[in-house]
Structure 1
Amino acid sequence: MTLFEKVKWVLGILLIFVVVLTTNLVDRGNYNRIRNSVVTIYEDRIVANDLIFEISTLVHEKEIAIRTSDSDFFMQRNPAINENLNALISRYEQTKITPTEQRVFDDLKLHLTDLQNHEKEVSVAEMANNQKLRRSMEIVKANLADLTKIQLREGKREMALSERTFETINLFTKIEIIFLVLMAVLVQVIILYKPKED
């Protein structure tokens, strides 16, 4: 085997190595983007939506007790609900929060505190007709509805990101196949090419 033939072999193998390495690096980057998107959808959207649901359920219990002026509820169950609400708020703070979501979430925390303060200020008999208390309840419910919409919108955004990444992977896979076929043809030409001897 002549030096020229050895160089041809080395160049052919080196070219294939570079193509495989480049493909691997591109695929790894795309894989990481998809993995991060799926983790974000679960941890920061589905879990957050579940927390919003739990908060809404507890707020709904409060609303029923306020409308019915249920004194037993406010003496026995309400302190536990307030503790649960605070725990859920703390868990929600640990999720990834967008700037818009942070504003709504801060409003929710403020209005939940207002609601709890109004509950302490008003006697149970006056709760059903107290406008401040009812207004606080409506604002809290509106904040929860806004947070739910944000979760849906952010989940859709993450899914769109995943879909774009899948499309990129599909495109790169097609390009890789075409490139590998061209490289195989080129390697064959290099190997089989015999220069004319004079």
Structure 2
Amino acid sequence: MTILNKIKWVLGILMIFVLILATNLIDRNNFLRVKDSVITIYEDRLVVNDIIFEFSQYVHEKEIAMMGKDSTFYGNRNLEINDKIQTLVRRYSETKLTKEEERIFNEFRQNLEELELQERAYVQTNMIERTSLLSKIDDVKENLFDLSKIQLSEGGRQMNISKKAVDSVDLFTRLEIYVLIFLAIIVQVIILYDPKKSSED
């Protein structure tokens, strides 16, 4: 095998190696995008959706106690619920929040604090004046509704990111196959082409 033939072989193999390396790097980047998107959907959307559901359950329990003028609830259970709500607030705040979500979440926290104050005032009025408390419960429920809608829209946005990344991987995989076939043909031509034979003809 002449030096020229060796160079042809090396160049042919090197072209294939560079192509495979480049497509693998692109595929790896797209894979990481899909992975991050799936993690975000789980940790920052599904888990948060569960937290919102728990918030709603506790707020609903508070509302039922207010409507039924349940004095035993305000003696013990309400303090327990408030502690659980604060734990959920901490868990929620550890997730990634969008700007709009952060704004609503801060408003929600403020409304929770005001709700506790209204509950104390409600108990002090012997459970007669409940207009302010009812209004504050409605504010908290509205915040929870808005936060829930954000989870849905953000989950959809993350799914679109995943879909685009998967489509990109699919496209590059097809291109890689076509280019590999093309390079294989070029390498065969380079290897089989003999300039001495063509000059003799």
Question: TM-score if structure 2 supplies the norm length?
Answer: 0.95
Unpaired stretches in structure 2, ≥5 consecutive residues: none
CA shift for structure 1 position 100: 0.5
The 3-state SS of whatever aligns with 2:170 is helix
Residue in 1 that maps onto 2:28: 28
1:194 equivalenced with 2:194 (yes/no)? yes
CA shift for structure 1 position 143: 0.2
Residue in 1 that maps onto 2:123: 123
Residue in 2 that maps onto 1:65: 65
- Give the whole-Å Cα distance in 1 for the aligned partners of 2:128 and 2:19: 73
- Give the whole-Å Cα distance in 1 for the aligned partners of 2:164 and 2:128: 52
Report the count of equivalent residues: 198
**Does the aligned pair in 1 maintain the 2:37–2:159 contact within 8 Å?**
yes
Residue in 2 that maps onto 1:146: 146
Residue in 1 that maps onto 2:107: 107
The 3-state SS of whatever aligns with 1:97 is coil
Residue in 2 that maps onto 1:156: 156
Q: Deviations over 1:130-182 (max 9, x none)?
A: 21111100000000000000000000000011111111111111100100000
- Give the whole-Å Cα distance in 2 for the aligned partners of 1:24 and 1:131: 63
- Return closer, same or farther for 1:15/1:9 CA change in 2, 3 Å cut-off: same
CA shift for structure 1 position 125: 6.3
**Does the aligned pair in 2 maintain the 1:23–1:176 contact within 8 Å?**
yes
CA shift for structure 1 position 126: 5.0
The 3-state SS of whatever aligns with 1:78 is helix
Residue in 1 that maps onto 2:169: 169
Residue in 2 that maps onto 1:2: 2
Unpaired stretches in structure 1, ≥5 consecutive residues: none
The 3-state SS of whatever aligns with 2:30 is helix
Higher relative contact order (CA 8 A, sep 6+): 2
Q: Deviations over 1:31-86 (max 9, x none)?
A: 10000000000000000000000011001000000111100100010000000000
**Does the aligned pair in 2 maintain the 1:115–1:133 contact within 8 Å?**
yes
Q: Deviations over 1:70-108 (max 9, x none)?
A: 001000100000000000000000111000000010010
**Does the aligned pair in 2 maintain the 1:69–1:124 contact within 8 Å?**
no
CA shift for structure 1 position 122: 2.1
Residue in 1 that maps onto 2:76: 76
120-129 or 80-89: bigger deviation = 120-129
- Return closer, same or farther for 1:186/1:121 CA change in 2, 3 Å cut-off: same
Q: What is the identity, as a one-letter code, of the residue corresponding to 1:16?
A: I
Q: What RMSD over aligned residues (CA atoms) do the two structures have, in Å?
A: 1.2
CA shift for structure 1 position 120: 1.0
Map 1:10-21; keep pairs closer than 5 Å: 10-21=10-21
Q: Percent identity, aligned pairs only? A: 48
Question: TM-score if structure 1 supplies the norm length?
Answer: 0.97
CA shift for structure 1 position 6: 0.7
**Does the aligned pair in 2 maintain the 1:127–1:133 contact within 8 Å?**
no
